[in-house]
Amino acid sequence: MVDERRPSRFGVPRDSLVSGRPLALGDTDPWSGGSIGSDATCILAPNPGPMTLDGTNTWILGPVDSADVIVVDPGPDDDVHLQRILRHLDQRGARVFATLLTHGHSDHSAAARNWHELTGAPVLALDPLHQFGAEGLGAGDVISVGEVSVRVVATPGHSADSMSFLMNNKILTGDTVLGRGTTVVAWPDGNLQSYLESLSVLTELIDSSGATTLLPGHGPALDEPANVIAAYTAHRHDRLDQVRRAVAAGAQTATEVVAMVYTDIPEAVRPAAELSAQAQLDFLRSR
Ligand SMILES: [Zn+2]
């Protein structure tokens, strides 16, 4: 049994729903999941919202005819969603070898315990709070079964426990890179310095692996991954310049920064914008 009240080592609130919000980056068409190439399928969770875009992407990794698959992010604790994943696996005649979590935010992790019980397969995560039936997961780990092989890369920043996974020519980015818009640096657990470093790590990984596709935690798969990361990096530096100007003009708190910089956001994402603004203020004050 896991104590529900046990605090996360990474300080991620259990009920946090912090991902990102749409900006003019990437595909604006609706996304409903489905197959990407011959070795990845997304089952979209029914939790759309201002912070989760179309919903959480649960990824099934492995060739269609493989007996064992690796699942990434079982998503919110929604029985309809979990049963849909099980039906999909049943139709393929596949069983779950292991489930990996990109990070501990609840829209990715809340189903972990029930999913572990339904599948009998271990749930591997960096944060012990979300580990079920196995020790955990860390940078450099390789999880392999049959023709599926996943390499773990630490990409903290969105949250302290954020990780990305390299499989063949694809990188699963969780909430570090979204299929649309930009992500939130979820202060205080998130950290902008770490986030910028993680974007550099992803750039190097794309270069060294020849990856051609990003599979995000929300929104559509993205091609031209190097361009996507470059746009994310440019956006972060643009925002930092705006925050610098806001501070020079007298803004002192995250609320004041949001009022001056994030002028076009819906009310529903204001709390998340304030977290990102606080992360940016911390970043600027630490320099
Ligand atoms: Zn998240």
Q: Give me the residue spans of the domains in the chain.
A: 33-224
Closest CA to 150 of 133, 158, 161, 138: 138
Q: How does pLDDT run across 116-145, given as a tens digit for each residue?
A: 999 999 999 999 999 999 989 999 999 999
Q: Domain 33-224: give its CATH code.
A: 3.60.15.10
Q: Of the candidates 198, 171, 166, which has an alpha carbon nearest to the alpha carbon of residue 183?
A: 198
pLDDT tens for residues 4-45?
A: 334 455 544 434 444 443 333 445 678 999 999 999 999 999
CA 248–ligand 1 middle distance (angstroms): 31
Residue 268 identity (one-letter amino acid)? A
Higher pLDDT: 175 or 287? It is 175
Longest dimension (CA), the chain: 61
Centre of ligand 1 from the C-alpha of residue 177, in Å: 10
Q: How far away, in angstroms, is 51 Cα from ligand 1 center?
A: 9
User: What is the pTM (predicted TM-score) of this model?
Assistant: 0.90
| Tokens 């990070």, located at residue | 103
Strand partners, 59: 42, 72
| Residue 70 alpha carbon to ligand 1 centre in Å | 20
φ/ψ of residue 280, rounded to 5: -70, -40
Coil, helix or strand for 42?
strand
d(CA 210, CA 207) in angstroms, rounded, equals: 5
Query: Which of 212, 156, 144 has its CA nearest to residue 188?
Result: 156
Is 80 within 8 Å of 46 (Cβ atoms)? Answer: yes
Residue type (1 letter), 162: S
CA 176 – ligand 1 centroid, Å? 8
The count of other CB atoms within 10 Å of the CB of residue 46 is 13
Helix, strand, or coil here: 165?
strand
